[in-house]
Structure 1
Amino acid sequence: MRTIPIEPIATDAFAPFGDLLVAPALGPRQDRAAAIENGRAGVPLNVALVRSEPSSGLMPLTRMERHPHSSQAFLPLAVGSYLVVVAPDRDGRPDEAALRAFRVPGHAGINYRAGAWHAHMMTATEPGTFAMLVHEDGTEADCVFAAIAPVTLAPPDETAGPRT
């Protein structure tokens, strides 16, 4: 079974898959921090609360998902740090040879682009809670799953922070 190293998240490394959301450097507000995509007219925004469990790194990751018509944002509410696993698209499936895993500190959010392949949300060491925003109407068009060859994640380095 293949093991994927976990690297600290960096804005440029994550850019092909979405946006890293961090506190504004200047001023009280940063408008247009991420592109909120909705490719289906009339499909409502779902604001959900998601409880995430820690990844031991030993449990194999066996599937990925994507939301072909909507971006999907995760905003940590009570999270130490968390892991995101992403892959570029290759012929309508995740490119397993190009899987990447990132450790994200609990003070930063992420916004996956519509169609970005990603794994389920995993916290690094303790359970956590996120606000999740995605356009959904409850149909099969909301989310597509793809099985992948089992992979494990290398233990995260808790001392590294995000790089912008």
Structure 2
Amino acid sequence: MKALTIEPLTRDAFAPFGDVIELQGARQIPINLGTTIRYHDLARIDVTDAGGRAIVNLFRGQPRVLPFEVTMLERHPLGSQAFIPLTDKPYLVVVAAAGELDPEAVRAFVTRGWQGVNYAKGVWHHPLIALDDVSDFIVVDRGGEGHNCDEQALPESLWLTSEGLRGAAG
């Protein structure tokens, strides 16, 4: 069994795969006569290839149980895909760089609950991996014509384990 090391999600560690969507470190702009703070430009939404347009969805993820077997990854070649959690519940993110899928370069991250992710166009990722409870996410991605989802089976399963998750705490 090949276990993935689960890393804490940080902007620097996740940069090769897209954006971490979080308030910490974001540009703040007072608006609405000073009654609201706008956390500005949190992710690079990239969905206009082949006439695409941005769409907003709600995904309700059922919790997964560890150990969890990762057998495939998917990618969206025509646009980015942003996941913004509506609750403060950690979830797992499994990714590999855009281009030809390299199973040896797959990485796993655990969020600190309110952190979102924006997968860059073409980045390989596993579908949503909620933990502990049903979790809701606003998802901003591409709508429109054209093939925008490739799935690829891994030659060997990768495992996410509670031991790996404990190692990422802190």
Whether the 8 Å CA contact 2:95–2:124 is kept in 1: the answer is yes
Q: TM-score, normalised by structure 1?
A: 0.86
Aligned partner of 1:10 in structure 2 is 10
CA distance in 1, matches of 2:167, 2:76: 29
Tell me if 1:145 matches 2:151: yes
Whether the 8 Å CA contact 1:79–1:130 is kept in 2: the answer is no
Give 1 or 2 for the bigger CA radius of gyration. 2
Counterpart amino acid of 2:94? V
CA distance in 2, matches of 1:110, 1:19: 6
Whether the 8 Å CA contact 1:24–1:30 is kept in 2: the answer is no
Q: CA distance change for structure 1 residues 158 and 75 in 2, over 3 Å: closer, same or farther?
A: farther
Tell me if 1:42 matches 2:48: no
The 3-state SS of whatever aligns with 2:111 is: strand
Whether the 8 Å CA contact 1:4–1:100 is kept in 2: the answer is yes
Q: TM-score, normalised by structure 2?
A: 0.83
**How far does residue 39 in structure 1 lie from its aligned partner after superposition?**
4.2
Whether the 8 Å CA contact 1:50–1:132 is kept in 2: the answer is yes
The 3-state SS of whatever aligns with 1:23 is: coil
Percentage of matched positions with identical amino acids: 36
Aligned partner of 1:118 in structure 2 is 125
CA distance in 2, matches of 1:127, 1:160: 21
Asked which structure has the greater RCO (Cα within 8 Å, sep 6+), the reply is 1
Which is worse superposed, 53-62 or 150-159?
150-159
The 3-state SS of whatever aligns with 2:23 is: coil
The 3-state SS of whatever aligns with 1:16 is: helix
Aligned partner of 1:88 in structure 2 is 97
Counterpart amino acid of 2:148? D
Tell me if 1:78 matches 2:87: yes
Tell me if 1:66 matches 2:67: no
CA distance in 1, matches of 2:134, 2:92: 12
Aligned partner of 1:56 in structure 2 is 65
Tell me if 1:106 matches 2:110: no
Taking only aligned residues, the RMSD between alpha carbons, in angstroms, comes to: 2.0
The 3-state SS of whatever aligns with 2:38 is: coil
Whether the 8 Å CA contact 1:79–1:129 is kept in 2: the answer is no
Counterpart amino acid of 1:112? Y
CA offset digits 1:50-74 (Å, max 9, x no partner)? 1112222323111101111101000
Aligned length: 158
Q: CA distance change for structure 1 residues 129 and 99 in 2, over 3 Å: closer, same or farther?
A: same
